[in-house]
Amino acid sequence: MAHFSRLYAISIDVPAADHDATVAFWSGAVGAELEPVGKYPEFNGARLPTHDMLVLAQRLGDGGPGRVHLDFHTDDVDAEVARLERLGATRVERAENWQVMRDPAGLLFCVVLDRPGTLSEANATRWE
């Protein structure tokens, strides 16, 4: 099924004890204040200056190890997940409007449903 997707966010996943220091560090490093993100209190984020990408700091609830993961935004999660599975990714866990996946090396990434009408030929890739 035809759909759009794009690489849209870099998420820095950190244990709760390190979250505030991580937010302060990355705010300074990228030159943009990582603010709380809407209804998701575990996230702070900012759009990168001069880029159409986000940097997010995600507070891990289970105390897992710090890591970085990428987020793909799409207008059709099921179609994008199927496309990425054909390339070798595997499903890990489904949450509200996103799918957690692993790449062939075992690294986590997410496929996130974007707001309707956000993605187009101007800012994303159209997949048939």
Q: Are the CB atoms for 47 and 54 separated by under 8 Å? A: yes
0.75 cut: is pTM over it? yes
CATH of the domain at 50: 3.10.180.10
49-77 pLDDT, tens per residue? 888 899 999 999 876 789 999 999 999 99
Q: Which two tokens stand for residue 101?
A: 């996946």
Mean pLDDT over 93-100 rounds to: 94
**Could you give the CA distance from residue 120 to residue 42 in angstroms, rounded to a whole number?**
29
The number of domains in the chain is 1
From CA 10, how far away is CA 54, in angstroms rounded? Answer: 6
Return the structure tokens found at 114: 């974007």
State the average pLDDT over residues 82-111.
96
pLDDT of 15 = 94
Instruction: Identify whether the C-beta of residue 123 lies closer than 8 Å to the C-beta of residue 6.
Output: yes
Determine the pLDDT at residue 124: 97
Which residue range forms the structural domain that includes residue 18?
3-127
Answer whether residue 128 shows pLDDT above 80. yes
Residue 47 has pLDDT above 70, yes or no: yes
108 neighbors 100 (Cβ within 8 angstroms): yes
The chain-wide mean pLDDT, for the chain, equals 94
Length of the chain equals: 128
Is 24 within 8 Å of 128 (Cβ atoms)? Answer: no
